[in-house]
Amino acid sequence: MMKRAVPYLVTLWLLWLGGGASTAHQERPNIVIIVADDLGWNDVSFHGSNQIPTPNIDALAYDGIILNRHYVPPLCTPSRASLMTGKHPMNIGMQDHVIISDEPWGLGLDQKLMPQYFREAGYRTHLVGKWHLGFFRRAYTPTYRGFDSHFGYLGPYIDYWDHSLQMNETSARGLDMRRNTAVNYDANGTYATDLFNDEAVRLIDSHNRSKPLFLVLTHLAPHTGNEDDPLQAPADEIAKFDYIQDPKRRTLAAMVSRIDTGVGRIYRSLERRRMLNNTIILFYADNGAPTLGIHANSGSNYPLRGQKESPWEGAVRGAALIWSRLLPRKGVVSNQWLHVSDWLPTLGHAAGIRIPPNASPIDGQNQWSTLTSSSSGGRTVVMNNAHNEFTYSSYIKRGWKYVNGTSFKGAYDRWLGQLKDGEQISHEDYYKRLIASQSIGSAMQLTRDDVKRLRAKAMVECSSAQGTVCEPLKRPCLFNIVEDPCERNNQANAYPHILRELETDVNGYRKRSVPSRQQPSDSRADPARHNGTWTWWLEGLGTQSPTHNLQQLFSTFQSFMEYFMALFAKVEAKLLAKQKYSPWEGAVRGAALIWSPLLPRKRVVSEQWIHVSDWLPTLGHAAGIQSIPAGGPIDGQNQWLTLQSASVDGRTVVMHNVDRRYGYRSYMKQGWKYINGTTARGIYDGWLGQLSDQEDQLSEEGYFAQLLNDSFIGGSMLLSEEQVREVRQSATLRCAEDVQAIPCEPLVKPCLFNVVEDPCERVNLADEYPEMLKDLQSDVERFKRTALPPRNQPSDSRSDPALHNYTWTWWQDEMDEQQHMAPYILYLAAAIEILLILIVLWCGH
């Protein structure tokens, strides 16, 4: 009870103090997230190697926190999806695959992304570099997903110089470089990493400090470019690494080094703008390096096992650090478990943004307290992936790792990328570069000893014990990943109960996972069809740019529908217009009949207007119930008399809807129907579902045989074939075929139909009967004014059956109680508050 009252008290207290939102707002920290693509564990120097010196990155690491157990999904798209949503890719259908640029799918528009949260909290939000979360429709692209600006590319990678993407040797090539939504041709010829660093610095330099900054820089480097020239770097940069023999690794070193230069420039820029003290910088690798195979970049995850796109640590345990003067700890190596999905709740917490908690332990968790103190608990489980195609699983719980199955038939299961002795600079040279005046380390007072100590702590030591071999394609393996980080000793036989426990977890997560959103490739994406560019090829021509969530949601829906329609290309038109959830007759004129010996009329087709709300007063009347109150003209009316006799006038108006979501109106009065606006941008406005002639139908003979057969109820009704033919005939709709159709464009202007003569809504009479149109319109607006707002509420993740023993249940009962209690507690709190104030004032005298 008292516990619940505390937050209210605190809120009131703050309000009384006049503190509150506005001052807190200005103190929100700037967030800078820098992501390197396919960077190996051993391709930065803070893990101990002197081969590729990264002095600026290392300076942040030594002056901040080295995140030595930072786990990431083993591939680009899943990793980025997880950062953006704070969820595990398996729980949002983003596991297993990357988005190939001609595949029409992306991160679900129902997900709320990190930049959306930060933008709502007053941040300026920018993305520089790679997106790779879908672009087949514009609604999927960064500036429609919460980023104020984007400069970079939308697909998996590009050429470092001309910024074109060719997915493989035989496929098409196209430019993939944009400033916001516009194709960028000017940058052609500038090295991509420099381009992105320049943009990040420009954004910081021009940032208006009245708002906090949220900047995500997702580098191309050191991912490969296209297959014709995979490893690219400026010649002068490559020349700095002449001590590396392998020309590929030498180029990789130059690619990484250029990222490092950028990190230094970004830091200096924040310093220059006096933003540094209030900034959090997060640097991490999106997944391990691919030493071999697809997009191999000669990166090294050594001594970790495996590489990108595998179940092993080399894929999922990525280089990472966080630096901020707001963190009390610095110069430490953290061995706490972190997952990339944790950053949304964690940075959200640091920025004072409420991020709804996740239901599943493999989703993001707020780790701010883990970062600020070495003792607190933090995460205990990390799901790497339960891959459906390769059918491997990789999962960590309380320091135990479960691996069953593997990728590429085990081709990456080894310890890859061991560096050659000698091909590196000395430790002394390394230290000199770290504290050299052009490095940001120069101002950080990093002593030789501190650096030595931190590097030693950050290095992975493989256990020397001779281990039991793991054959993941034959049977599941178990590793003690804390003592055996290199996955050399399979302990499955020694700890069968732990193996089983982890296996049960994995199967549970797999079962609850969302199916992959991946779609097969679509040849219409070909850049040759789009002036040589990769672009949103499924964006309908002339459609308006969506500006908020609803429209975005609805454009996914639209693409789904279009896909469907193309599939069943039966859109050509004839019968009763249109369909469910539309203003048209196909949505609102429904099949219906009433049967009773109590009705004097029978075997008739009634053309009288009836609305479903009429049944309560009508059946109530038939049952002699007097107490049913009468409603307005669009509410239910007693139609018992209408049913009894053809000559009685019944209902004259039917209000179909004044829809708030799509803004359409559909209304009928005395046989005239008014339509303004429509649903789903009009994709249901055609005449749908025409049946093919003759095929797939019973013959008339067959129909009568069934209808009049004694074994059906028709057999006892003494129906003659002739009567049946007559009734059927008058119940069959006839479109006004002989009249010239006049098209209705309900999104452009209101339409009017005579639905008695033209039940198929083919002839728009709006221009011919403007007075009638106006009359119906004014009715509609009148009804609209008295309408109550819709009761629908946004969805609530707490209803998830996973939280309620897998049932759908009344998940809000307990919360309702709390809500009922709230005002009462507020009064109590206010009373205490006033009392306190009085005491304070009284003491002051």
Ligand X SMILES: *[C@@H]1O[C@H](CO)[C@@H](O)[C@H](O)[C@H]1NC(C)=O
- The per-residue DSSP string of 268-293 comes to HHHHHTT-GGGEEEEEEESS----SS
**Which parts of 706-745 interact with ligand X (CB under 6 A)?**
709, 711
Shortest CB 275 distance to ligand X, Å: 8
**From 423, 777, 811, 826, residue interacting with ligand X (rule: CB under 6 A):** 777
Shortest CB 185 distance to ligand X, Å: 6
Ranges of H-type helices in 646-744: 700-708, 721-731
Q: Could you give the string, one character per residue 350-389, with x where binding to ligand X holds by CB under 6 A and - elsewhere? A: ----------------------------------------
Is residue 499 close enough to count as binding ligand X by CB under 6 A?
no
Is residue 208 close enough to count as binding ligand X by CB under 6 A?
yes
Shortest CB 375 distance to ligand X, Å: 25
Is residue 466 close enough to count as binding ligand X by CB under 6 A?
no
Residues 6+ apart with CB under 8 A from 575: 687, 689, 690, 733, 735, 760
Give the residue with the Cβ less far from ligand X, 11 or 521: 521
Residues 6+ apart with CB under 8 A from 165: 101, 153, 155, 156, 157, 158, 159, 173, 174, 175, 176, 226, 534
CB 708 within 8 A of CB 719: yes
Number of H helices, E strands in the chain: 22, 23
> Token pair for residue 308?
């990108």
**From 230, 476, 617, 636, residue interacting with ligand X (rule: CB under 6 A):** 476
In the bound state, the residue with its beta carbon closest to ligand X is: 405
Would you call the peptide bond into 303 cis, given omega within 30 degrees of 0 as the criterion? yes
Is residue 167 close enough to count as binding ligand X by CB under 6 A?
yes
Give the residue with the Cβ less far from ligand X, 790 or 823: 790
Q: Which stretch binds ligand X (CB under 6 A): 163-171, 412-420, 510-518, 566-574?
A: 163-171
Partners of 152 in the beta sheet? Answer: 129, 178
**Any catalytic annotation for residue 530?**
no
**From 1, 17, 22, 210, residue interacting with ligand X (rule: CB under 6 A):** 210
Is residue 677 close enough to count as binding ligand X by CB under 6 A?
yes
Give the residue with the Cβ less far from ligand X, 632 or 663: 663
- CA neighbor of 134 nearest in space, from 147, 121, 145, 123: 145
Q: Torsions phi, psi of 393, nearest 5? A: -130, 145
Q: Of 76, 486, 735, 744, which is the active-site residue?
A: 76
**Which parts of 518-537 interact with ligand X (CB under 6 A)?**
521, 531-532
CB 55 within 8 A of CB 439: yes
Q: Of 70, 88, 126, 132, which is the active-site residue?
A: 132
Shortest CB 608 distance to ligand X, Å: 29
- 382 burial level (CB within 10 Å; 0-12, 13-18, 19+): buried
- 810 burial level (CB within 10 Å; 0-12, 13-18, 19+): exposed
**From 301, 676, 679, 754, residue interacting with ligand X (rule: CB under 6 A):** 676
Spacing of C-alpha 124 from chain mean position: 20
CB 498 within 8 A of CB 490: no
Is residue 670 close enough to count as binding ligand X by CB under 6 A?
no
Q: Which stretch binds ligand X (CB under 6 A): 37-45, 167-175, 286-294, 790-798?
A: 167-175
Q: Indicate the DSSP class of residue 21.
A: H
Shortest CB 219 distance to ligand X, Å: 20
- Strand 124-130 and strand 213-218: pairing? parallel
Shortest CB 337 distance to ligand X, Å: 23
Is residue 416 close enough to count as binding ligand X by CB under 6 A?
no
**Which parts of 44-103 interact with ligand X (CB under 6 A)?**
100, 102
CA distance 22 to 27: 9
**Any catalytic annotation for residue 76?**
yes
- CA neighbor of 131 nearest in space, from 157, 108, 102, 162: 157
Give the residue with the Cβ less far from ligand X, 239 or 705: 705
Is residue 765 close enough to count as binding ligand X by CB under 6 A?
no
Give the residue with the Cβ less far from ligand X, 16 or 161: 161
**From 247, 663, 770, 801, residue interacting with ligand X (rule: CB under 6 A):** 663
Task: Tell me the three state secondary structure of residue 404.
Answer: strand
Is residue 274 close enough to count as binding ligand X by CB under 6 A?
yes
Shortest CB 819 distance to ligand X, Å: 25
Give the residue with the Cβ less far from ligand X, 503 or 833: 503
Is residue 170 close enough to count as binding ligand X by CB under 6 A?
yes
Residues 6+ apart with CB under 8 A from 88: 82, 95, 339, 341, 360, 362, 363, 383
Would you call the peptide bond into 222 cis, given omega within 30 degrees of 0 as the criterion? yes
Shortest CB 475 distance to ligand X, Å: 7
Q: Annotated catalytic sites, by residue?
A: 76, 132
Name the site residues for ligand X (rule: CB under 6 A): 100, 102, 162, 164, 167-168, 170-171, 175, 185, 188, 208, 210, 274, 277, 391, 404-405, 476, 503, 521, 531-532, 663, 676-677, 705, 709, 711, 750, 777, 805-806
